Homo-oligomer: A and B are copies of this chain.
Amino acid sequence: MAKKSDLLPGTLDMLILKTLTRAPLHGYGIALSIKRISDEVLQVEEGSLYPALQRLLLQGWVKAEWKQTETNRRARYYTLTETGRKQLGLELSEFDRMIAAITRVLREA
A residues neighboring B (CB under 8 Å): 2, 4-5, 7-11, 14-15, 18-19, 22, 34, 37-39, 41-42, 87, 90-92, 94-95, 97-102, 104-106, 108-109
A49 and B98 CA atoms in complex are apart in Å by: 18
B92, B101, B106: the one contacting A41 at CB < 8 Å is: B101
The minimal Cβ–Cβ distance linking A35 to chain B, given in whole angstroms, is 10
Supposing A2-B90, A4-B94, A94-B4 touch, asked if A104 and B37 sit within 8 A by C-beta, the answer is yes
Contact indicator A38/B101 (Cβ below 8 Å): yes
A39 and B104 CA atoms in complex are apart in Å by: 9
Within 8 Å CB of A4, what residues of B?
A: 94
B8, B18, B39, B104: the one contacting A8 at CB < 8 Å is: B8
A4 and B34 CA atoms in complex are apart in Å by: 23
